[in-house]
Amino acid sequence: MLEWLRGFLQQEAKLPEKDTVVIWAAIVTALFFLLRASEYLLQDGRSWSFERVLQREDVEPRKAGKRVPSFQDADEMVIYIKGSKTDQLNVGTVRNHYRAGTTLCPIAAMERLQAHHPQRIKGTEKRLPIFRWASGTPIRRAEVQHFLTVAGLAAGLSREEIGSRSLRIGGATAMYHVSEDLSRVRWFGRWQSDAFHGYLWESHEPMKGDSSKMARGTSSLTNPAKDGAPARAAAGAESARRESP
């Protein structure tokens, strides 16, 4: 869906290129870092959540573990996520990804954004939200949801199956498919449970390779049961087992 959406944004959406690179960077960053809407978008009917939204000073390009000035030179992207509803101590968390080497890559997306909007990475806008249209107006939740819905419809889904949370859920699913570690996904996505994870220091190296695997994942999702039949069948099998001599 996202590969299709990238082509749609570039060829059919009729957006200026300076806007295309911003909306694509927002979508890909939200997917790989499992971001909540308030951490990268302006939610409808609200003002910016500056205590949460990603600003330039929260995003860091790195190469070989050291900060570099440009995403063009980076092999790693580190973001600092400020306080959230599950961050009881309001100390923030750090997450990172390495360059994927594919079109679905947050570093490549940020590289293009920096090329078109250098002031957002190395200039006067370092304390403003990164993901804004070229005019400076906010990218809103409804606008991201619109493009995700277009991609979903093209893939044969219904409107009801797509929402702005789809990126967070899709990123979590992709990470689970490549790591098969639910506790790691829960930790990376900062879901509330096992709160001790908030006190741990983590190294960057374990994330090497995950972004490439997530981007290249080709597994097919199963459709949920429509009437609960599998559950009833399982219950019936268990009942028969108990009654058998």
Q: What is the pLDDT of residues 38-74, one digit of tens each?
A: 999 988 788 888 888 999 889 999 999 999 999 999 9
pLDDT for residue 195: 40
Give strand pairing partners of 132: 138
Tell me the CB-side half-sphere exposure of residue 217, using CA atoms within 13 A: 24
Percent with pLDDT over 90 in the chain: 49
Tell me phi and psi for residue 36, to 5 degrees. -80, 155
- Higher-pLDDT residue of 18, 178: 18
238 falls in which pLDDT band (50, 70, 90)?
Answer: low
Alpha helices in the chain (DSSP H): 2-11, 17-33, 106-116, 119-122, 141-154, 166-179, 182-189, 210-216, 229-243
Question: At residue 8, does pLDDT exceed 60?
Answer: yes
- On average, the pLDDT of the chain sits at 84
* 177-231 confidence digits (pLDDT tens): 888 788 888 889 888 765 433 334 456 777 888 899 889 988 888 877 666 555 5
Question: At residue 171, does pLDDT exceed 70?
Answer: yes
Residues 6+ apart with CB under 8 A from 161: 152
Closest by Cα among 115, 132, 63, 109 to 215: 109
Give me the mean pLDDT over the 106-121 stretch: 94
Q: Which residue in this structure is represented by tokens 């509330």?
A: 192
Greatest mean pLDDT among 87-101, 127-141, 173-187 lies in: 127-141
Burial class (CB in 10 A: 0-12, 13-18, 19+), 208: middle
Q: Under a CB-based contact definition with an 8 Å cutoff, are residues 157 and 84 in contact? A: no
Closest by Cα among 123, 116, 110 to 16: 116
